[in-house]
């Protein structure tokens, strides 16, 4: 932390004409001072609330000792200022205060947006060239993942600023509070999924703890949501129906360490349908694939049971809460299996949920995004990849997406493995092309492939 010591009243030779400029002379008796602490970076400064007033006491000696008197009086003030600045910086560092709020009050919302833009412009480039990702990957893991740890701390700091500027009005309405599994995991108003209001007299009937999330293909490719509570299962299936969802990805066991993480919201016996609100859910297939289950449901509206929709639920069984203790290869296989069942022309969102719908959910969405990029025509080894920015974009849509440092590291690990698979795939393709290439091809065919049969035919005729 940089600091500079300033001795107030040091210059005892200030002349009257010097007062037009800055002259650090003795403070006059009876002066009232209000103190503010400033903390500056290379981009901008923030200022604390004011403290005071501090009043300069009358001198105890005659005017000939005025300079000494002023210095003695100024010393306690200087000490008080330094203490205030230190307290301010320590509290800011620990996250106990948010100077951006003060800046917003001082300079207005528009200028705050400009300040954030300036900060982002001045940020270091965290993107990594894909061509050298393997080498960079080793650096990321060096010193117990120091670089990734620092990046994740910056994600949390910025996410705190986003949450300060975003609203949770719907989530904090009294009728909606019981619908939230965790009191600190609430959906932003600007990106929350709104259900169709089922009761004109109950405007809160449109609420569910869920947010639209961006993916590789479009901005609302996913819906990140919490695992249903006993009282929100009907709303969950209503959201599936209204959003025309075809795929649900579940990343949590219903119970973990003897604690309920998600209510079982589906029937677990084939052809034994259950009704949830106005929707009937009928399991038609239940398949175990070792690390995950695949369940297929036919869902229909109670008003017309003849019209059904097919919904696939992929339930990953080996991803514990707050951790990233999954086998990278198995989890990548799971992500690829899910994508293999999504038709390319489908534009309706995929449902992704765990318990809170943020940590494991955010990790899955990021890994799917990276996998889709690697499989797309846009992929190039000349590109750069920026997982930091990808996570920040998710944090702007829903709180705590990618909830732990370990999950942030997992995303990088998965990308490294998927990139290696991509390289092997391209090498195999090139080898096959060489194998089936026309070995007889010659750029000068006139000599090599002249019509010998024609010449022989002429000789025979002669």
The tokens for 301 are 């509206």
Label residue 128 exposed, middle or buried (CB < 10 Å: 0-12, 13-18, 19+).
buried
Domains, in order of start, for the chain: 1-122 (no CATH), 133-428 (3.90.190.10), 433-461 (no CATH)
Q: How far is the C-alpha of 210 from the C-alpha of 223, rounded, in Å?
A: 7
Q: How far apart, in Å, are the Cα atoms of 427 and each of 319, 329, 431?
A: 32, 20, 6
Span 408-430, pLDDT tens digits: 999 999 999 999 999 999 988 77
The backbone region for 257, taken as left when phi is positive above 0, alpha when psi lies in -120 to 50, beta otherwise, is: left
Amino acid 107: pLDDT: 46
Amino acid 124: pLDDT: 85
Scanning 63-166, the segments in alpha helix (DSSP H) are 66-93, 99-107, 109-122, 133-140, 142-165
The residues assigned a catalytic role are: 354
Q: How far is the C-alpha of 42 from the C-alpha of 363, rounded, in Å?
A: 33
pLDDT, mean of each 10-residue run, the chain (462 residues): 59 60 67 64 56 60 52 70 73 57 49 45 82 94 95 96 94 96 96 89 89 96 98 97 97 92 96 96 94 96 92 94 85 96 88 97 98 96 97 98 96 97 87 58 47 43 36
Span 188-203, pLDDT tens digits: 999 999 999 887 778 8
Q: For 192, which DSSP code?
A: B
Provide the sign of the torsion angle of the four alpha carbons 243, 247, 252, 254, taken in this order: positive
Amino acid 97: pLDDT: 56
User: Nearest Cα to 191, choosing from 216, 223, 218, 161?
Assistant: 223
Task: Give strand pairing partners of 224.
Answer: 211, 352
Label residue 295 exposed, middle or buried (CB < 10 Å: 0-12, 13-18, 19+).
buried
User: Nearest Cα to 8, choosing from 87, 59, 76, 84?
Assistant: 76
Amino acid 54: pLDDT: 66
Q: What is the DSSP string of 216-261?
A: SS-TTSEEEEPPPPTTTHHHHHHHHHHTT--EEEE-S-SEETTEE-
Q: How far is the C-alpha of 312 from the C-alpha of 246, rounded, in Å?
A: 6
Q: How many other CB atoms are found less than 10 A from the CB of residue 395?
A: 21
3-state class of 105 per DSSP? helix
Q: How far is the C-alpha of 213 from the C-alpha of 230, rounded, in Å?
A: 25
Q: How many other CB atoms are found less than 10 A from the CB of residue 419?
A: 19
Q: How far is the C-alpha of 126 from the C-alpha of 139, rounded, in Å?
A: 13
Q: How far is the C-alpha of 180 from the C-alpha of 142, rounded, in Å?
A: 39
């Amino acid at each position: 932390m940089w600091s500079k010591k300033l001795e107030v009243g040091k210059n005892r030779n200030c002349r009257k004409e010097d007062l037009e400029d800055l002259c650090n002379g003795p403070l006059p008796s009876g002066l009232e001072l209000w103190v503010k602490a400033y903390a500056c970076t290379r981009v901008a400064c923030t200022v604390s609330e004011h403290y005071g007033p501090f009043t300069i006491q009358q001198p105890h000696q005659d005017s000939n000792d005025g300079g000494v008197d002023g210095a003695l009086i100024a010393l306690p003030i200087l000490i008080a200022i330094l203490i205030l600045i230190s307290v301010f910086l320590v509290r800011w560092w620990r996250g106990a205060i948010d100077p951006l709020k003060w800046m917003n009050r001082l300079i207005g919302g528009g200028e705050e947006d400009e300040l954030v833009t300036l900060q982002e412009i001045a940020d270091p480039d965290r993107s990594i060239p894909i061509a050298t990702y393997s080498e960079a990957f080793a650096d990321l893991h060096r010193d117990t993942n120091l670089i990734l740890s620092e990046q994740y701390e910056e994600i949390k700091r910025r996410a705190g600023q986003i949450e300060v500027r975003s609203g949770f009005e719907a989530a904090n309405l009294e009728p909606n509070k019981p619908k939230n599994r965790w009191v600190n995991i609430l959906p932003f108003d600007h990106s929350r999924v709104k259900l169709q209001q089922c009761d004109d007299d109950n405007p809160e009937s449109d609420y569910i703890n869920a947010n639209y999330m961006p993916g590789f293909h479009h901005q609302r490719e996913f819906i990140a949501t919490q695992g249903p509570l006993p009282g929100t299962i009907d709303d969950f299936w209503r959201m599936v129906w209204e959003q025309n969802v075809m795929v649900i990805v579940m990343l949590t066991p219903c119970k973990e360490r003897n604690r309920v993480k998600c209510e079982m919201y589906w029937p677990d016996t084939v052809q034994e349908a259950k009704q949830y609100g106005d929707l009937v859910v009928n399991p038609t297939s239940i398949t175990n694939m070792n690390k995950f289950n695949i369940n297929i449901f036919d869902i229909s509206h109670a008003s017309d049971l003849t019209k059904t929709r097919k919904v696939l639920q992929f339930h990953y069984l080996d991803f514990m809460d707050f951790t990233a203790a999954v086998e990278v290869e198995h989890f990548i296989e799971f992500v690829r299996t899910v994508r293999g069942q999504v038709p390319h022309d489908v534009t309706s969102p995929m449902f992704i949920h765990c318990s809170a719908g943020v940590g494991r959910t955010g990790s899955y969405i990021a890994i799917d995004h990276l996998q889709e990029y690697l499989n797309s025509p846009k992929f190039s080894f000349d590109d750069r990849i920026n997982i930091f920015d990808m996570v920040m974009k998710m944090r702007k849509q829903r709180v705590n997406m990618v909830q732990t440092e370990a999950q942030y590291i997992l995303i990088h690990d998965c990308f490294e493995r998927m990139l290696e698979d991509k390289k092997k795939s391209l090498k195999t393709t090139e080898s096959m092309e060489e194998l089936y290439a026309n070995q007889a091809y010659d750029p000068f065919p006139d000599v090599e492939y002249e019509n010998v049969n024609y010449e022989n035919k002429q000789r025979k005729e002669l």
